[in-house]
Chains A and B, each alone.
Chain A
Amino acid sequence: MTRVHDMGGRFGDGPVQPGPEPVFKYDWHARALAVTLAAGALGQWSIDRSRHTRECLSPGDYARFSYFEKWISALADMLVDQGIVTREELASGQAAGRSPLAERALAAEDVAGVLARGGPSDRATQQAPRFAVGDAVVTRRPARNLHVTGGHTRLPAYAAGVPGRIVHLHGAHVLPDTNAHGLGEAPEPLYTVVFDAADLWGAPERAGDEVTCDLWDSYLRPA
């Protein structure tokens, strides 16, 4: 049911290794970020689609690739899926010709504006939230996309089928489960739900510790 990216609560990873490091450890990290953002500015895919493409790396690649390797590999996959670049071009490392999308290329003088504008995901909607702060809810189980088998969703597996309580309302936001697959934005009320660590893990590190997730209306039912 799950993909390899959905790793919250997994056993077996080693210690976290904090420590000072530059913003970009290698030059290619900086280039990978910049190429990905500039290609994204062409407007040919959503952030939900980008995330899903990274999640669709094979489990072996996902585990082996570093963060920016995932980005750049998923970028190559999306460019080919969208017909913007061919496999032959990727293999040869050379373009066969200029793209009809070239007029949309992000210019240096527009970078500051584009980054500052961002891409807000809230949407006006008539749909009233079903839940209020303090309401008891239960999350969907299993965590899965109801529209596309194996599709994108933002309900982590560890938080599926678990009782929780609403602590924030955020208005309506684009639903990743549809938007990642070109099925429309389908905005729904978004909530922050708090879970008792004992309900998530059985034996928590300390009684009373909590975890929250940001979850869409259709991920939840009344408790």
Chain B
Amino acid sequence: MPHDHHDHDHAHAVLPPDPALRVKAIETILTQKGLIDPAALDEIIDTYENRIGPKNGALVVARAWSDPEFRAALLADATAVVAELGFYGRQGEHIVVVENTPQVHNMVVCTLCSCYPWPLLGIPPGWYKSDAYRARAVREPRKVLAEFGIKLPEGTKVRVWDSTAEIRYLVLPMRPEGTEGLIEAELCDWVTRDSMIGTGLPERPA
């Protein structure tokens, strides 16, 4: 029937339509079966809500801005360099850092799902996972950038990185004017999450 909420060949069709109730049903069943420990769920949530997020990536960027040797090593083998900072793990096993220059602006998408460098940026924002971003970032990146308030200079080429394998990309934005003389901790405050995805630029902290 056209108004059925679910496709009945799939097992999930027997679950309640409300997604919150779907999650609750699966959590209840798996807990009763001894397959998940509610305390482990709390631990996972706390990790991604409070401990792993864009401040990790911001530290990497700020250090690359202030330490040329670190920057060179980062561009050569980011996985090893960020692992030394403790930023390694699920959805960040293979990291490549791509550097913005006056000639090239880099931007990251996953058209097939929503791959994202979790250990450096945390859980992706809603817009990154949206159909609109996944569909459009590869074909009309400049229109998408305009929706983020970004207009690139005429001479700057866009290179969009579609994360189709387990390689995760972090954009190294250009160090902005007005940051001369700032120390690493101060530079971190200029690095926005979106500037590390390529849909934003560093911003003077409020």
Contacts and interface: CB of A to CB of B under 8 A. Distances in A.
Given A102-B35, A112-B43, A9 B135 contact: yes
A24 B123 contact: yes
B159 A17 contact: no
A56 B87 CA distance: 33
B141 A77 contact: no
Given A16-B132, A201-B139, A35 B30 contact: yes
B176 interface: no
Given A85-B33, A105-B37, A212-B159, A18 B147 contact: yes
Contacts, number: 315
Contacts of A205: 139-143, 158
Interface residues of B, number: 84
Interface residues of A, number: 110
A214 B26 contact: no
A159 B111 CA distance: 11
B55 interface: no
Contacts of A26: 20
A34 B112 CA distance: 22
Given A24-B123, A57-B10, A156 B41 contact: no
Contact of B7 (A28, A60, A75, A210): A60
A41 B132 CA distance: 31
A94 interface: yes
Interface of B: 6-7, 9-12, 14-15, 19-20, 22-30, 32-37, 39-45, 47-49, 53, 88-94, 96, 109, 111-114, 122-123, 125-127, 129-136, 138-144, 147-148, 157-167, 194, 199
8 contacts: A8-B111, A18-B148, A58-B10, A87-B14, A94-B29, A102-B35, A118-B88, A212-B162
